[in-house]
């Protein structure tokens, strides 16, 4: 049996992927539906689709393993990912205080042959200079027990001002030394501007961006993704679930769940599928800290069923109804209105982890990672100017107050 012959029904029967339980603090990110109990049995000859990564000449698995979890204690997760064809692994120097990279190194040390099968990405957390990038890269290589990474990212940029000629020269030097194959960046904020400028620069190989059903249909995002694709930049989507800064327990969300359960897959799987329908996206990076989520996402990647017009309309309607509680990352507006004195985007992201994903540890890590003086200042500021320029009319003041009370 080859990959094209694997039906969604057969795969789900094999791995028992539907109706999985909870994750991330027990809040439950996957919809619950009746099904056989989950198992880790390997589907026969089922491998993920591969897609070209821009102009790099490399093909990567359409699903990437996001490394924000305790990899050292979950080595089986890496083995199962490889068995199912998830050969694109993503991490960062700051994930779990470096333990994510250390966990990957543990796996490669015990399974050295696996390194050749993996497209490995890491990111320089908090790097402000090429010296910082060099130090971060060397530390990452040591932790992961590898001589090179396939792609090295500047992490979480909100402006391409950091992509200086010095960074370009550094990348060329590291490529010549065979320590990195490609250079890029990840971005949660001002994604459209970052993509457009990266395309203009002409030397960025890969970009990981927030991309989901809430933002992919805007004119600005369509133009930016198109510019990047035409420039040959390899694109990886993250935050594809479009989680909000407030609880998902709404009537609209319940209706959305019911719609997709009736279609035979979960809301979360539908969110993946609508992004995969964009062939300019090489891969989706997903945090998959347990086998239930891994198998569910793999099932969605193997499933050949296209979303219907009604499916897309259901997602669009939900996006419209709940849009005022979703931060789209346009921090060039809100943070500029506050003269840069409040990292609104970072605070909104921490609330998204807290409410949307139920990951309170990650939420607190993002929030408490802000400078102490900044956190103190958050409770003293007037956010009316930021609220006035917010296209989605988020109650920024109330949300920041909530974050300081929940996460401080």
Distance, in Å, from the CA atom of 294 to the CA atom of 303, rounded to the nearest integer, reads: 14
Q: Which residues pair with 90 in a beta bridge?
A: 66, 121
For the stretch 310-353, pLDDT in tens is: 999 999 999 999 988 899 999 999 999 999 999 999 999 999 99
- Please report whether residue 344 resides in a domain: yes
DSSP three-state, residue 122: strand
* Dihedral angle sign, alpha carbons of residues 382, 385, 389, 393: positive
29 pLDDT more than 70: no
Among 2-16, 211-225, 281-295, 349-363, name the one with the lowest average pLDDT.
2-16
Give the pLDDT band (50/70/90) at residue 115: very high
On whether both 189 and 252 belong to a single domain, the answer is yes
- Please report whether residue 320 resides in a domain: no
From the CB of residue 274, how many other CB atoms can be counted at a distance below 10 Å?
A: 21
How long is the chain? 408
3-state secondary structure 183-240: EEEEECCCHHHHHHHHHHHCCCCEEEEECCCCCCCCHHHHHHHHHHHHCCCEEEEECC
On whether both 149 and 63 belong to a single domain, the answer is yes
- Please report whether residue 321 resides in a domain: no
On whether both 59 and 201 belong to a single domain, the answer is yes
| Mean pLDDT estimate for the chain | 88
Percent of the chain with pLDDT over 70: 89
Q: Of 257, 281, 310, which residue is a domain's last?
A: 310
- Please report whether residue 23 resides in a domain: yes
On whether both 74 and 137 belong to a single domain, the answer is yes
Going from the C-alpha of 358 to that of each of 91, 126, 151, 200, the distances in angstroms are 20, 25, 29, 38
On whether both 305 and 341 belong to a single domain, the answer is no
On whether both 264 and 344 belong to a single domain, the answer is no
87 pLDDT more than 50: yes
Give the pLDDT band (50/70/90) at residue 45: low
Q: Of 310, 345, 380, which residue is a domain's last?
A: 310
- Please report whether residue 353 resides in a domain: yes
On whether both 402 and 260 belong to a single domain, the answer is no
For the stretch 360-401, pLDDT in tens is: 999 999 999 999 999 999 999 999 999 999 999 999 999 999
Q: What is residue 162's predicted lDDT score, i.e. its pLDDT?
A: 95
- Please report whether residue 317 resides in a domain: no
On whether both 333 and 192 belong to a single domain, the answer is no
Beta strands in 275-377 (DSSP E): 281-287
16 pLDDT more than 50: no
On whether both 306 and 345 belong to a single domain, the answer is no
Q: How many domains does the chain have?
A: 2
On whether both 242 and 124 belong to a single domain, the answer is yes
On whether both 159 and 195 belong to a single domain, the answer is yes
CATH of the domain at 15: 3.20.20.100
Q: What is residue 46's predicted lDDT score, i.e. its pLDDT?
A: 65
For the stretch 195-219, pLDDT in tens is: 999 999 999 999 999 999 999 999 9
- Please report whether residue 175 resides in a domain: yes
41 pLDDT more than 80: no
Domain holding 147, by residue range, is 3-310
For the stretch 49-80, pLDDT in tens is: 999 999 999 999 999 999 999 999 999 999 99
On whether both 168 and 94 belong to a single domain, the answer is yes
- Please report whether residue 315 resides in a domain: no
133 pLDDT more than 90: yes
Distance, in Å, from the CA atom of 26 to the CA atom of 43, rounded to the nearest integer, reads: 27
- Show the CA angle centred on residue 369, arms to residues 372 and 363, nearest 5°: 120
């Amino acid at each position: 049996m080859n990959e094209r012959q694997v039906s969604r029904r057969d795969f789900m029967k094999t791995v028992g992927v539907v109706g999985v339980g909870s994750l991330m603090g027990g809040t439950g990110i996957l919809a619950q539906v009746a099904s056989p109990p989950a198992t880790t049995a390997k589907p026969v000859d089922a491998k993920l689709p591969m897609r070209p990564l821009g102009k790099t000449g490399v093909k990567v698995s359409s699903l990437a393993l996001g490394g924000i979890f305790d990899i050292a204690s979950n080595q089986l997760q890496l083995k199962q990912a490889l068995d199912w064809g998830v050969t694109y692994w993503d991490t960062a120097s700051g994930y779990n205080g470096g333990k994510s990279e250390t966990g990957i190194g543990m796996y490669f040390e015990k399974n050295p042959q696996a390194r050749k099968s993996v497209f490995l990405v890491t990111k320089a957390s908090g790097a402000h200079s090429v010296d910082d990038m060099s130090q971060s890269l060397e530390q990452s290589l040591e932790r992961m027990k590898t001589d090179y990474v396939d792609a090295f990212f500047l992490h979480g940029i909100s402006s391409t001002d950091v992509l200086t000629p010095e960074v370009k020269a550094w990348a060329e030097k590291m490529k010549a030394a065979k320590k990195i194959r490609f250079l890029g960046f990840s971005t949660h904020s001002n994604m459209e501007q970052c993509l457009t400028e990266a395309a203009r620069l002409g030397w960025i190989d890969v970009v990981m961006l927030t991309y989901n059903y809430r933002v992919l249909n805007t004119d600005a995002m369509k133009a930016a993704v198109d510019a990047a694709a035409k420039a040959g930049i390899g694109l990886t989507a993250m935050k594809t679930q479009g989680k909000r800064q407030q609880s998902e327990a709404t009537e609209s969300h319940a209706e959305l769940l019911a719609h997709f359960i009736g279609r035979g897959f979960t809301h979360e799987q539908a969110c993946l599928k609508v992004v995969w329908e964009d062939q300019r996206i090489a891969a989706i990076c997903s945090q998959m800290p347990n086998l239930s989520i891994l198998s569910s996402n793999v099932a969605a990647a193997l499933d050949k069923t296209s979303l219907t017009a009604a499916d897309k309309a259901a997602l669009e309607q939900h996006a419209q109804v709940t849009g005022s509680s979703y931060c789209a990352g346009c921090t060039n507006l809100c943070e500029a209105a506050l003269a840069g004195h409040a990292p609104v985007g970072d605070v909104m992201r921490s609330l998204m982890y807290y409410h949307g994903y139920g990951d309170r540890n990650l939420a607190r890590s993002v929030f408490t990672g802000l400078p102490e003086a900044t956190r103190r200042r958050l409770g003293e500021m007037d956010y009316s100017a930021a609220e006035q320029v917010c296209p989605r009319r988020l109650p920024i003041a109330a949300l920041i107050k909530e974050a300081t009370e929940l996460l401080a």
